Amino acid sequence: MSTTTDSRTALRICPLCEATCGLTLTIEGTRVTGARGDRADVFSQGFICPKGASFGAVDSDPDRLRTPLVRKDGELREATWEEAFDAVAAGLRPVVETYGPHAVGVVLGNPNVHTMAGALYPPVLLGALGTRSLFTASTIDQMPKHVSSGLLFGDATAIPVPDLDRTDHLLLIGANPLESNGSLCTAPDFPGKLKALKARGGTLTVIDPRRTRTAKLADRHVAIRPGTDALLLAAMTFVLFEEKLTDLGELTELVQGLDELRDAVRDFTPEAVAEACDVDAGTIRALARELAAAPTAAVYGRIGSCTVPHGTLASWLVDVLNILTGNLDRPGGALFPHEATAKTPRPAGPGRGFALGRWHSRVSRHPEAKGELPIAALAEEIDTATAEGQPVRAVIAIAANPVLSTPDGDRLDKALDSLDFMVSVDPYLNETSRHAHVVLPPPPPSQSPHHDFAFNHFAVRNQVRYTRAAVPLEPGRMAETEILARLVLAATGMHGTDPSAVDAMVIDQTLGKAVKDPHSPVHGRDPRELAALLTGDSGPERRLDMMLRLGPYGDGFGVRREGLTLDKLLDQPHGIDLGPLQPRLPQPLKTRSGRVELLPQPIADDLPRLRDALRQRPDGLVLVGRRHLRSNNSWMHNIPALTGGTNRCTLHLHPDDAARLGIADGDSVRIKGAGGELTAEAEVTDGIRRGVVSLPHGWGHDRPGTRMSHAATDPGVNVNQLLDGSLLDPLSGNAVLNGISVEVSPTGTTP
Ligand SMILES: Nc1nc2c(c(=O)[nH]1)N[C@H]1C(S)=C(S)[C@@H](COP(=O)(O)OP(=O)(O)OC[C@H]3O[C@@H](n4cnc5c(=O)[nH]c(N)nc54)[C@H](O)[C@@H]3O)O[C@H]1N2
Ligand SMILES: Nc1nc2c(c(=O)[nH]1)N[C@H]1C(S)=C(S)[C@@H](COP(=O)(O)OP(=O)(O)OC[C@H]3O[C@@H](n4cnc5c(=O)[nH]c(N)nc54)[C@H](O)[C@@H]3O)O[C@H]1N2
Ligand code: SF4
Ligand SMILES: [Mo]
């Protein structure tokens, strides 16, 4: 963009949360010295939050690794890229050749959805390696939503998002977008959108055991007992049927199983669930009536509705309520976004459906979901032998810190240490990567191009943006796309091949398939001719061009002259708006019936477990998590500008519980769970309901052998050490991280 003698600006889509704001970076030399919201960005229109404003500090953190590390004589030492990839090939190949591909565990963490590399190469790695040992952050996050979408719509990635800009009534369950900036609902300035909803006369309801900043904005806040949302939502469903408030509207012909559903929720009356949820029956009826009465409404559930024992049932019921009130797939309700890189839409009709449990984990026989095994079972898949099958003996970890992010990090710590080989693609030497034999550090975000392959699929408005690297790659750096391409080659016996071969192969395969597809705009053409038309400075850019041109808004390689290409996108550095979300059904459905299957069998089979929950009451305290605005999971505690203030690892507890336990604000307390014991400082607050305590995750930066110097000055404790990893939502394999039983007592000391 603009240049003066010593300072210039460049655009960069922010990768620090799911909101994907467009930023204008100030750059002096090669250093980012400032960041502000890009007012001309077609999606974010100038919004920025404190994390985005600290982009420069995140980008230039001196603890970021600059060169690869390779373990020699037990110690990680700086090495060249060549030495590093030699070591990766030498470490991985013997494991594959001796024990087979399933002995290689692939662990994919959250930032893969925030990088182009993470979208483009892990699928190639998994396809080429053929391992079933895939563990990702999805099973400590949103896997229940994938499973419920798979079952309802036949496509695990067809997740409806609330139409924030147009809805009249928003019901938020277990989400705190004022701190998280939203998730599975990509919306720059989520707080502003909630305020706009209220300003246009709409209503906001929040269900959360804590009176969060989001709950404070709400017209109605229901402080539910953690882990019981599926009961409450089932009771709302019951009320819709009982009071004849269902109105499927345009969906009527598209939905099957209505009568069976009515029958299935018969036992879940508001009166029957009230005590378990600790929400009175009158409130539950009011929630259902308000939802049905609103001209348009959207129900949306996030972390607090997913990381619980009935996560899949709660996620399913969220969409059941959207469907029964006619709000699915209509403006103002919950719609399916259509991103520019989506596959060529096929005509509506029966699909292949969604299968669960096509294979099982070796030790605890957990069913796979969406091709993944529960990440909570990673440690046992490494450290436990069984009569059949091979333990995981090598791990490829890309952008993942499971030692802090998953249950029982101490056990995983030991398990990772016992591996034959481990490689981490990570900018930091942290709690997980310290176990690696090779660490491959990606460049900081300013040196990487960006397009949101993942988040545009969940965006509240269809739009497309691409920003090239704001700063050239520093000498000695390697683009993360190249790192992952080389990793694919090293893992699959092709070490030494030119990494551009990976992109060329993907382009070849994709175009080869497209020309054979009668619904593709390029049907019948010559794939070589199409490949020659691709533009872009690199393999990843050519792949982006290909996806854009084959996609729903694409030029179809010249068929639709007005259509999108990478060149056209590069001409619009602030992005191209593709309009508000549109109704799309029945096209996205891939169920075998070709309809929305309201009561899928695996869901029906799980309902007896929910019926049992009607009678369950926790005897003591239960723990939930929380997020802080200036933080992100485990890896931003190293940025001084983003730590301190309210962003601290303290235990929130209600004044009545504090008084009963003899705990005062600031006291040191002991917290005991099934997986271990921790000590933290108490923060007494009436912002949390009685009987519930809260500790944030991503802390516990006191392990030796890491290089995160600022984080180590205020390490906090790892909340996931309270878990033993045995509690899962059985349908999705998602770990239960919220609503777990704990004991809290004063330690008798002040920290
Ligand atoms: N108790 C509890 N636990 C939770 C949660 C909770 O609510 N409560 N939330 C869960 C959720 S939602 C998630 S998504 C998971 C996250 O789990 P993880 O993905 O395992 O954890 P992150 O802290 O996001 O760490 C990601 C890693 O990526 C690295 N990284 C950062 N930027 C890049 C990059 O550009 N490239 C590469 N290659 N690496 C990068 C970081 O250094 C870090 O090591 O944690 C989960 N754990
Ligand atoms: N600042 C910041 N932003 C982030 C992240 C971060 O770490 N920091 N992480 C990013 C990631 S990876 C994700 S997945 C998203 C998550 O986005 P959100 O889901 O919005 O995140 P949380 O703030 O954890 O909100 C979950 C809420 O659920 C509540 N809750 C806990 N248990 C229950 C329950 O049983 N029932 C109900 N109804 N509520 C419950 C908690 O009190 C909490 O307020 O945030 C993303 N954005
Ligand atoms: S809201 Fe998210 S994407 Fe926007 S500036 Fe903040 S961290 Fe970046
Ligand atoms: Mo997440």
Query: What is the CATH classification number for the domain harbouring 29?
Result: 3.30.200.210
Whether residues 73 and 116 share a domain: the answer is yes
- Is 314's C-beta closer than 6 angstroms to any atom of ligand 2? no
Whether residues 327 and 401 share a domain: the answer is no
Whether residues 304 and 428 share a domain: the answer is no
- Is 180's C-beta closer than 6 angstroms to any atom of ligand 2? yes
- Is 471's C-beta closer than 6 angstroms to any atom of ligand 3? no
Q: Cα(90) to centroid of ligand 1, in Å?
A: 28
Alpha carbon distance 678, 662 (integer Å): 18
**Ligand 2, atom 46: closest residue by C-alpha:** 180
Whether residues 178 and 296 share a domain: the answer is yes
User: pLDDT, tens digit, for every residue of 446-466?
Assistant: 999 999 999 999 999 999 999
The radius of gyration computed from the CA coordinates of the chain, to the nearest angstrom, equals 25
In a domain, residue 583? The reply is: no
Residue 450 and residue 118 in contact, taking contact as beta carbons nearer than 8 Å: no
User: pLDDT, tens digit, for every residue of 374-407?
Assistant: 999 999 999 999 999 999 999 999 999 999 999 9
pTM exceeds 0.95:
yes
**Ligand 2, atom 3: closest residue by C-alpha:** 180
Whether residues 406 and 519 share a domain: the answer is no
Closest ligand 3 atom to the C-alpha of 35?
A: 5
Q: Cα(406) to centroid of ligand 3, in Å?
A: 24
> What pLDDT is attached to residue 751?
47
Whether residues 567 and 538 share a domain: the answer is yes
User: pLDDT, tens digit, for every residue of 53-76?
Assistant: 999 999 999 999 999 999 999 999
Q: How many other CB atoms sit within 10 Å of the CB of residue 488?
A: 24
Whether residues 485 and 507 share a domain: the answer is no
- Is 307's C-beta closer than 6 angstroms to any atom of ligand 2? no
Cα angle 598-273-618, degrees, rounded to a multiple of 5: 115
**Residue that terminates a domain, selected from 38, 59, 80:** 59
Q: Of the residues 110, 176, 273, 697, which should be mutated to test ligand 2's pocket, given the most ligand atoms within 8 Å of the CB?
A: 176
- Is 183's C-beta closer than 6 angstroms to any atom of ligand 2? yes
Q: What is the mean pLDDT of residues 623-652?
A: 95
The two structure tokens encoding residue 664: 């005062």
| Parallel, antiparallel or unpaired: strands 31-37 and 734-735 | unpaired
How far out from the chain centre does Cα 253 lie?
33
Q: Cα(402) to centroid of ligand 2, in Å?
A: 18
Short-list 177, 211, 164, 469, CA closest to 332? 164
**Ligand 3, atom 2: closest residue by C-alpha:** 17
Q: Of the residues 110, 142, 632, 723, which should be mutated to test ligand 1's pocket, given the most ligand atoms within 8 Å of the CB?
A: 110
In a domain, residue 216? The reply is: yes
User: pLDDT, tens digit, for every residue of 299-310?
Assistant: 999 999 999 999
- Those residues with Cβ within 8 angstroms of residue 61's Cβ, 6 or more apart along the chain or in another chain: 444, 638, 639
pLDDT bracket for residue 618 (50, 70, 90): confident
In a domain, residue 357? The reply is: no
In a domain, residue 147? The reply is: yes
User: How far, in Å, are 135, 360, 636, 699, 701 from residue 401 at the CA level?
Assistant: 12, 24, 12, 11, 12
Q: Cα(453) to centroid of ligand 4, in Å?
A: 16
Alpha carbon distance 453, 571 (integer Å): 19
User: Which ligand has its closest atom nearest to the C-alpha of 193?
Assistant: 3
In a domain, residue 751? The reply is: no
- Is 178's C-beta closer than 6 angstroms to any atom of ligand 3? no
- Per residue, what are the HEC states of 693-715? EECCCCCCCCCCCCCCHHHHHCC
- Is 606's C-beta closer than 6 angstroms to any atom of ligand 2? no
Alpha carbon distance 217, 206 (integer Å): 9
Q: Look at residue 236 and tell me whether its pLDDT is greater than 70.
A: yes
Whether residues 204 and 107 share a domain: the answer is no
Short-list 610, 592, 736, CA closest to 150? 592
- Is 720's C-beta closer than 6 angstroms to any atom of ligand 1? yes
Q: Look at residue 1 and tell me whether its pLDDT is greater than 60.
A: no
Alpha carbon distance 422, 427 (integer Å): 16
In a domain, residue 391? The reply is: yes
> What pLDDT is attached to residue 5?
58
Residue 576 and residue 327 in contact, taking contact as beta carbons nearer than 8 Å: no
Q: Residue 578 burial (CB < 10 Å; 0-12/13-18/19+)? A: buried
Q: Cα(734) to centroid of ligand 4, in Å?
A: 12
**Ligand 1, atom 37: closest residue by C-alpha:** 399
Q: Cα(43) to centroid of ligand 3, in Å?
A: 12
Residue 163 and residue 334 in contact, taking contact as beta carbons nearer than 8 Å: yes
In a domain, residue 604? The reply is: yes
Alpha carbon distance 649, 628 (integer Å): 10
CATH of the domain at 334: 3.40.228.10
Residue-number span of the structural domain to which 31 is assigned? 2-59
Q: Cα(149) to centroid of ligand 2, in Å?
A: 20
Whether residues 72 and 50 share a domain: the answer is no
Whether residues 564 and 635 share a domain: the answer is no
Q: How many domains does the chain have?
A: 5
> What pLDDT is attached to residue 2?
52
Residue 245 and residue 292 in contact, taking contact as beta carbons nearer than 8 Å: yes
Q: Look at residue 155 and tell me whether its pLDDT is greater than 80.
A: yes
Q: Look at residue 4 and tell me whether its pLDDT is greater than 60.
A: no
Short-list 453, 454, 451, 421, CA closest to 438? 421
Whether residues 739 and 704 share a domain: the answer is yes
Q: Cα(536) to centroid of ligand 4, in Å?
A: 31
Q: How many other CB atoms sit within 10 Å of the CB of residue 100?
A: 14
- Is 188's C-beta closer than 6 angstroms to any atom of ligand 3? yes
Q: Look at residue 619 and tell me whether its pLDDT is greater than 90.
A: no
Cα angle 291-292-293, degrees, rounded to a multiple of 5: 95
In a domain, residue 485? The reply is: yes
Instruction: Write the DSSP symbol of residue 526.
Output: -
Alpha carbon distance 156, 10 (integer Å): 37
**Strand arrangement of the beta sheet that strand 7-13 belongs to:** 7-13, 22-28, 31-37
The two structure tokens encoding residue 459: 């965006």
Q: Cα(137) to centroid of ligand 4, in Å?
A: 7
Q: Cα(429) to centroid of ligand 1, in Å?
A: 14
User: pLDDT, tens digit, for every residue of 6-57?
Assistant: 799 999 999 999 999 999 999 999 999 999 999 999 999 999 999 999 999 9
Q: What is the mean pLDDT of residues 263-269?
A: 98
- Is 699's C-beta closer than 6 angstroms to any atom of ligand 1? no
**Ligand 3, atom 5: closest residue by C-alpha:** 52
φ and ψ of 219, to 5 deg: -75, -30
| Parallel, antiparallel or unpaired: strands 728-729 and 676-684 | unpaired
How far out from the chain centre does Cα 320 lie?
22
The answer to whether the Cα torsion of 197, 201, 202, 207 is positive or negative is positive
Closest ligand 3 atom to the C-alpha of 23?
A: 5
Q: Look at residue 329 and tell me whether its pLDDT is greater than 70.
A: yes
Closest ligand 2 atom to the C-alpha of 177?
A: 20
Whether residues 425 and 410 share a domain: the answer is yes
> What pLDDT is attached to residue 749?
61
The answer to whether the Cα torsion of 598, 307, 236, 731 is positive or negative is positive
Peptide bond into 391 cis (omega under 30): no
User: pLDDT, tens digit, for every residue of 639-659?
Assistant: 999 998 889 999 999 999 999
